[in-house]
Amino acid sequence: MGAALVKGQNGSLAQSRVVVSVRTEAAVDLSALLVTAAGTVRSDADFVFFNQPAAPGVVLRADDSAALEVSFDEVPEEIDQLRAVVTLDDPGAVFGRYAAPVATVTDSLGNVVYEYRIEGLDTESVVIALELYRRGGGWKVRAVGQGYAGGFAALVTDHGVRVDDPPAAQPLERSAERVRTVPGEAALSFEKRERLDMRKRAVAKVLIDKGAWGIRARVVLVIDKTGSMHKQYRTEVVHRVVQRMIPVATQLDDDGSLEAYLYALSFAKLPDITVARSEEWTRTFLHLGGVHEGIDYGEIGGRNDELPVMRDIIASLRPGDGPTLVLFFTDGGFANKRDIGALMREASRLPAFWQFIGLGRANYGLLRSLDEMTGRIVDNAGFFALDDIDQVDDGELYARLLGEFPAWLRAAEAAGILR
């Protein structure tokens, strides 16, 4: 009897040849993705499945669609990982209806080396079961057990495989799980990918519950860079804010990216934030001072004036455009009530909803009375404050963040702002 693995655990592989198989009471297909360190295939030839049963070093057994023979010596050096994928045959079926599948690694003589019972599956129809990966000149196995919310076609295309017509036998999962995937997700570690998937599902649930599922919207992130935000930068609260806003963009924005601004007295329009480079982006741009990528942060200032950055965003809006969601994080100020009020009334004619979020304990001034502001065609803004955003779970955060956006969409459409 081999060693039992639990989710996330890994183990060494001393064998030059192994067989990966899956036992389950459901009818399944097993496939493999041979990927580089970037998390993508070199070409479609690195995808092993029933219509293409072999790639260098990996063969799908002709007599058993749920077994892969792997010869590590024959795997090209450019290939960093082999990902074993289990897919249900029955359209509409989900793993939660069946007993947990068991993934097994055996040696060439059939002796079990590792066994992994994939617990906790529910609405998934596609699961990355195991990952075989290079480490220190050898190979190891990791128990992954990660459902792929976008379905089979999304999984393979996210790994760089071209799919002209997604197979009819591989439907997307039911609406509550039909979250979008965007470029760059496949290159994430499985731990980061799992966290992103959980957050995407939380965003999708809010949109579904609010009747706004399937809406596409430009997403703009604005972050306060004033001196009073020192603690939020020092403790990397703003870094975590960025990571938690990315799932919103993946479900709303056409390309899954966040447009980004930092503001104080002036502002800087920064490069878009993408899934693949989000951590690099936060390290590069989330600072209070210095020069970063040619941007002099001293010129942005250290005190707050919201009008310049708001005017710049408003200038980018045109009647008849699709919707824009502005996520505006600040620790307060907004003292210029008259001019900001006039700007929000002007902006109510344009296709954007402004969600203001207060960070920390502060005086938010005008923001607390946004819902009472008169003279607007539609209510185009919301506000809530978070004393400690790290203490708010994803479900609550996204419910508050997106709670008023669907109502604005309907009101803006009724007023002719959105068409």
Question: Residue ranges of the domains in the chain?
Answer: 3-158, 186-415
Among the residues of 263-393, which ranges form H helices?
278-285, 297-300, 306-315, 337-347
Structure tokens at 4: 């039992």
Q: Is the pLDDT score of 10 beyond 80?
A: yes
What's CA 247's distance to the chain center, in Å?
A: 4
pLDDT digits (tens, 9 = 90+) for 229-283: 999 999 999 999 999 999 999 999 988 999 999 999 999 999 999 999 999 999 9
If one counts every other C-beta atom within 10 angstroms of the C-beta of residue 337, the result is 12
DSSP code, position 97? G
Q: How confident is the model at residue 168 (pLDDT cuts 50, 70, 90)?
A: very low
Percent of the chain exceeding pLDDT 70 equals 92
Percent of the chain exceeding pLDDT 90 equals 61
Q: Is the pLDDT score of 419 beyond 90?
A: no
Domain 3-158: CATH class, spelled out: mainly beta
Q: Is the pLDDT score of 174 beyond 60?
A: no
pLDDT at 170: 34
pLDDT digits (tens, 9 = 90+) for 63-98: 655 799 999 999 999 999 999 999 988 777 889 999
Three-class DSSP category at 220: strand
Three-class DSSP category at 24: coil
Q: What is the CA radius of gyration of the chain?
A: 25
Q: Is the pLDDT score of 327 beyond 70?
A: yes
pLDDT at 175: 35
pTM exceeding 0.85: no
pLDDT higher at 341 or 148: 341
Residue with tokens 């200032």: 301
Q: Does the domain formed by 186-415 have CATH 3.10.310.30?
A: no
Three-class DSSP category at 122: coil
pLDDT at 149: 61
pLDDT digits (tens, 9 = 90+) for 333-373: 776 788 988 999 999 999 999 999 988 766 666 677 776 78
CA distances from 59 to 49, 74, 78, 141 (A): 9, 11, 18, 18
